Amino acid sequence: MTSARLLAAGPVKLRAQSLQTCRDRHVHNVLGCSNQQRNSTLRWGRRPATKVQAVSEELVDSVASNGAHNGNGTVPHTATIKQSTLSVHAGESGGRCKVADSLTTPICCTSTYYFQDTAELIAYQEGRYGSYEYGRYGNPTTRVVEEKIRELEGAEDCLVSSSGMNAATTMLLALVPAGGHIITTTDCYRRTRQFIQTVLPKMGVTATVLDPADMGALEQALEEHDVSVYFSESPTNPYLRCVDVPRIAELCHAKNTPICIDGTFATPINQRAIDLGADLVLHSGTKYLAGHNDVLAGAICGKSDLIAQIRAMHNVLGGTLDPHAAYLMLRGMKTLGLRVEHQNKTALEIAKRLERHPKIERVHYPGLPSHPDHHIAKEQMKGFGGVVSFEVRGDLWTTAKFVDGVRIPYIAPSLGGVETLIEQPTVISYWDQGPEKRAAYGIKDNLIRYSCGIEDIENLWDDISQSLEQI
């Protein structure tokens, strides 16, 4: 149809043409289905589209005389279709149009998926028909998120979940058998350490905890134990230590030990650990990926056989990402590159200025030559991230005064969003541990973690400076 004819046709004709286009299109790539399912059937896109029309007497008469289609067949011809039945099925039960023209990915809000008949269900169970079964096992919106993260990380497959901790605990429960052994590093997120030290031992699981740079201790642990998985952040939280992924991969793979790197602080913009030799990469999607401090999400991607094991465990445990949260992650990741580039520049400049400031004792940032793992970060990372940790010259309360004195950042326990956040780990994460335990974990009372947002760098620095002047 030419442009002139389309214009002459008017909105009704255009709408009909659009519905016909929707009917005729076949979806060849069903997100969330296996390659076998994707390639073996086109039926996912062939269900007839529902013509949009108002509920009228004519529609009631038509449904009553012809039978109303539902998930298992038709309403008997003799049935009297009541308004309560129509309110459930009218306009939908004849088949839903597969939305292909929407610029943004639609939010698929359903807890379950129906099948036309038993034969179709069996075809699905045997991998000959591409679809979904139940919301905990997959969702079209969340599958788009998984595909995006998979491609960003260069992975074979990806699984998203309800939080970064859910991704981490599900991974460990899936890959570490009863009586297994884990290798992890000293500097890590407190809740990860807590799970490894208090929950896994109930299943007889033991752990070796190493300094991130101690390759000798790693070799020894691999020799002495049948290690189920090596798991470390890189950069770590809160001291931003970086592990030598290629060297660790060489040592671990010689013993058939898989490697999982938590890349939350790096993001795939700055570091692709799979390219460096990791088998799995984990993210708290709450942080940089979503990027707006409005979503809780987690993701793990990597080798398909490992993800299959983790997905099987995930299907049992739950921890499903809500499709609304999945949509917000998609929205956030559109600007991931722009945000991270800005945050990289801001953090590096602030780190340099802090290192020269007389009231700062030490700065922890992998982009600085003074950082113990700067040589590793230069090799593995394109940017050094948006988080700067530093130590104020003073005690706990002097440091707290500085935190209370800044005006732009929010005092909050997160990172990676558009707003700058500040925290004193002693107070916000380890206050219940007491001085001795904090010292054992390496958490100093004068330590600050500063997560750069996307504000103007000079505004942030002026704010830091005025607060430092008050202590």
Q: Which residues are catalytic?
A: 136, 189, 262, 287
Q: Are 196 and 190 in contact (CB under 8 A)?
A: no
- Strands 360-364, 298-302: pairing kind: unpaired
d(CA 291, CA 418): 6
Look up residue 400 and give its amino acid: A
Count of other CB atoms within 10 angstroms of residue 371: 21
Strands across the sheet with 421-423, in order? 360-364, 387-392, 447-451, 421-423, 410-411
d(CA 13, CA 293): 44
Q: Which of 192, 208, 209, 199 is nearest to 178 (CA)?
A: 199
Bond into 235 cis (ω within 30): yes
Q: Which of 308, 286, 164 is nearest to 231 (CA)?
A: 164
Phi, psi (5° rounding) for residue 157? -155, 165
Q: Are 266 and 385 in contact (CB under 8 A)?
A: yes
d(CA 296, CA 306): 23
Q: Are 299 and 166 in contact (CB under 8 A)?
A: no
Chain position carrying tokens 């990402």: 321
